[in-house]
Structure 1
Amino acid sequence: MLSRRGFLKSGGLALFGVGLSGGIPAFIAQAAAGTNLVLPYKKKKTLVCIFQRGAMDGLMAVTPFTDTFLKEARPGLFMSAAQNASGKPLIDLDGRFGLHPSMKSFEPLFRENRLGIVHGIGSPNTTRSHFDAQDYMESGTPFNKGTASGWLNRAVGLLGHDTLTPFTAVSLTSAMPRSFYGDNPSVAISNLQDFSIQMRGNQSGANMAAKSFEDLYDKTASGLLQETGKESFEAMKMLNKTDIKNYKPANNVVYPTSALGNSLKQVAQLIKMDVGLEVAFAESNGWDTHFNQGTENGVFARNVADLSNSITAFWNDLSSYQDDVTVMTMTEFGRTVRQNGTRGTDHGRASCNFILGNDIKGGLVHGNVQPLAVENLEDGRDLAVTTDFRSVFSEVADKHLGLKNDKTLFPDWKGTKIGVMKT
């Protein structure tokens, strides 16, 4: 039998399978009503991870525009940084790499040394399967398909304190992402307004939630509250009393009306509520650009505009919380160097990622991208992976969240970090 404490710590708070719209269940509200509403959680550091599902073309997002081999390989997709070029030019970052013009909201952050880019990043596993590559990246074990936990769930376990708040690790998704699978508390919240919370990846916790959640809490006398749950109830009561729907972002920020924009807006609300959020997760979909990828217009341009505008709105909304937050993107792999016959790109190897925060070495394109001659390409067709994603993920998590055990975070990794964070 799973204990009450074990239930809370292994599964977090799960309002399972019903998509509630009327607020929290009465039996939880009644338990919470017996406590005073206080702010039990001090302001904490928060890592926000965004998974770009579908494999982003890093060579179009951040283009090595002086590379003649790339220009040859992409006659219908290559974009120039020259101001007299037809169409919108790339945003010249450093004389070699250019940012896609639809990501113009990122330029000030890059110039202010808050935004850094890692190019040539990817997995050492050479799979080009979306499912497998995402699984490996989210588990953090690219050669072990049997890993039960996700790397972000293990990060929660390394935070170094007894976490009782149900909002320590929150995914703004309809289902729990692979990154959060495991025994440490985490929740998936599709929408803060209706408290639609689900739990995945911990079957024993899920079964307990589905079968006997109310039985567990109908005994919420002072024993349970004093033992493990008081802060959880206080935090839930705090969320229930907050006017989520009419939230007004700081600095007159307007978020994109997209799934990602809405997710990051809700992450900002949780951060500002001081409910103990330390790891947040969101998704951006639609990056599988096999055909009609476009250049300054098209599906790719729309996707990068949404990504950059959503992240920039989130950053500007944080205001005085910026020192406590770092944002990191990830994608399972990149795209082929050569365009295909339908003016798109196919599954490749390396891509790039974006890291935003006041504790990173911004204003730089980190990593190693060789000239894109055939002899430098992986399998003669792809941008080579020269930076293992674990070297970046571990450095960002270690430095920002104060973690100290890379062996637990990434069990099979023995590499070195690349210096994306300030010392």
Structure 2
Amino acid sequence: MDRRIFLKNGAMALVTLGLSPSFLRRTALAMELPRAARGKTLIVLFQRGAADALNVLVPFGDRDYYAARPQLAIGAPARANGAGGAIDLDGFFGLHPSLASFKPLWDRGMLAPIHAVGSPSATRSHFDAQDYMETGTPDQKGTTDGWLNRYLAVQGTCEACAVSDSGKTVPFRAVSMTTQTPRILEGPSPVVAMNSISEFSIRSTGGDAERRLEALYRTGSADLIHGSGSDMFEALKVLRSANPQQYTAAANVQYPRSQFGQRLLQIAQLIKSNVGLEVAFADVGGWDTHVNQGAAQGQLANRLSDFSESISALVTDLGDRMEDVVILTCSEFGRTVRQNGTGGTDHGHAGAMFVIGGSLGASQKVFGTWPGLAREQLYEGRDLALTTDFRAVFSEVTSRHLGADQLARLFPGYAGNRKNWLGVLKG
């Protein structure tokens, strides 16, 4: 179809980078937003920039923690006023005070913190470490697809697209709330990537539409507009039916107005709309705290407030649907045990994760093996040592929650097995 004719007659553009022409055709054939049977959903949230695990999941019971961080350490849970102190979990570990909205989840047995977890790779490069975690193949730069896309391909049917009760294909099996398809979802299986649901269909005219389509050309997605024009417009009709203005969160639920908070709101919308969402992804930056990190207050504290309040709103909004939902948080690596000379921390090694859901295997337990923070216990004499490979967590969650049964294909080269699982989810 001639591009200028499309621009002249179309007056709107599809702005999403995770769609293939075949996906658009399948979506158009549905002619209406199909409703899938209620199933399991995995939500992966990536903290880009290397979150400081030691001030997120605070080891206040380890005296070496305070020796290494005279200004940055979070105080032990206060016995009196509680100001600035960690939120006690088990007498040894606590949450940063800005994670207060996580405490009710802990009390309900819906929060599983994991310490000393991450990639066995020694890299301190953000780019490489994120790539290894998203592909599931540490130190293997040749991997072309992400581990979540491999899950979709290995476990999928009907050309890796879910099917509704009516037999129609479900276009929203995997959704990434990002500008472009993230590395973790790259691969042959169809994936939707978008800034927001409303950007599926943008009513625009003239130069604005042309600029948007030119952007598609620049990103190598020109094939999106070279298919059937009628298919494109029918697809737009389908996608517009999930307009976020039509959605109202559960009573008394207030999502933060941040980009991250609003993206989690839209994930909730897709789940509650029964569109067949099986895998959702969102990321949030700002965790690279080399300078002026702060302790109980400051840069990191502000980031943690938005992070936890957004997740807490999502959990509350979903209500009893959380029995079918697992939220997995991760970051590419942790940060140095010792604070640096500019009031921050530098690139480290092991980090922390949270698994959140209504079907956890054990309540009120901090998972993992604590390696200690004495100098002789540190990785390369400076970092929290790794005791849990991230693939042990990813494989357990994917298997026990989503039913993945070909884990060797999801994580090629990983020698770990079920004995390495932590028992975060019910077996």
Same fold (TM over 0.5): yes
Which of 65, 69, 72 is 2:60 aligned to? 65
Query: Who is 2:297 aligned against?
Result: 297
Contact 1:235 1:275 in 2 (8 A): no
- 1:351 and 1:30 mapped to 2: Cα distance? 42
TM-score with structure 2 length normalisation? 0.83
**Equivalent runs, 1:7-406 vs 2, <5 Å:** 20=15, 37=32, 39-79=34-74, 80-84=76-80, 87-162=83-158, 164-195=169-200, 210-218=221-229, 237-361=237-361, 362-406=363-407
Secondary structure of 2:251 counterpart? helix
Cα separation, 1, equivalents of 2:236 and 2:358: 30
| Number of the residue aligned with 1:224 | none
Q: Identify unmatched segments of 5+ residues in structure 2.
A: 1-11, 17-22, 159-167, 203-215
1:286–1:196 CA distance, 2 compared to 1 (3 A): farther
Opposite residue 389 of structure 2, the aligned amino acid is D
Distance, in Å, in 2 between the alignment partners of 1:140 and 1:304 is 26
Q: CA deviation at 1:342?
A: 1.1
Counterparts of 1:89 and 1:284 in 2: how far apart (Å)? 25
Q: Note the C-alpha offset of 1:300.
A: 0.5
Secondary structure, counterpart of 1:307 in structure 2: helix
Q: CA deviation at 1:211?
A: 4.2
CA drift at 1:219 = 7.6
Distance 1:373 1:366, change over 3 A: same
2-structure distance, mates of 1:264, 1:256? 10
- Cα distance, 1:367–1:338 mapped onto 2, change above 3 Å: same
Q: Is the 8 A contact 2:201 2:239 kept in 1?
A: no
How far does residue 260 in structure 1 lie from its aligned partner after superposition? 1.0
Q: Tell whether the 8 Å contact from 1:20 to 1:196 is kept in structure 2 after alignment.
A: yes
Q: Does the C-alpha gap of structure 1 residues 314 and 410 become closer, same or farther in structure 2, counting only changes over 3 Å?
A: same
The secondary structure found in structure 1 opposite 2:193 is strand
**Structure 1 residues without counterparts, runs of 5 or longer:** 1-16, 22-27, 198-204, 221-231
Question: Does the 8 Å CA contact 2:117/2:352 hold for their aligned counterparts?
Answer: yes
Structure 1 segments (4+ residues) deviating >3 Å: 17-21, 28-40, 84-87, 205-215, 232-239
Residues 397 and 31 of structure 1: CA distance in aligned 2, closer, same or farther (over 3 Å): closer
The yes-or-no answer on 1:412 pairing with 2:413 is: yes
CA RMSD of aligned residues (A): 2.9
**Displacement of 1:370:** 2.3
Are the counterparts in 2 of residues 148 and 182 from structure 1 also a CA contact under 8 Å? yes
- Distance in 2 (CA, whole Å) between partners of 1:139 and 1:37 is 34
Counterpart-to-counterpart distance in 2, 1:129 and 1:410: 21
1:165 deviates by 2.5
Matched residue, 2:426: 422
Task: Provide Cα deviations, 1:199-256, integer angstroms capped at 9, x if missing partner.
Answer: xxxxxx9999844545532586xxxxxxxxxxx9998645412441242101321001
- Indicate if the aligned counterparts of 1:172 and 1:190 stay in contact, CA closer than 8 A: yes
Give the distance between the partners of 1:327 and 1:100, measured in 2 at CA.
19
> 1: distance between equivalents of 2:365 and 2:25?
52
1:209/1:55 Cα in 2 relative to 1: closer, same or farther (>3 Å)? closer
Aligned length in residues: 384
In structure 2, give the amino acid aligned to 1:216. G
The 1:72–1:30 alpha-carbon spacing in structure 2 relative to 1, beyond 3 Å, is closer
C-alpha distance in structure 2 between counterparts of 1:289 and 1:234, whole Å: 46
Distance across 2 between alignment mates of 1:390 and 1:68? 30
> Match of 2:344, as an amino acid?
G
Is contact 1:337-1:382 (8 Å) kept?
yes
3-state SS of the aligned residue for 1:193? helix
Q: Amino acid of the residue matched to residue 175 of structure 2? A: V
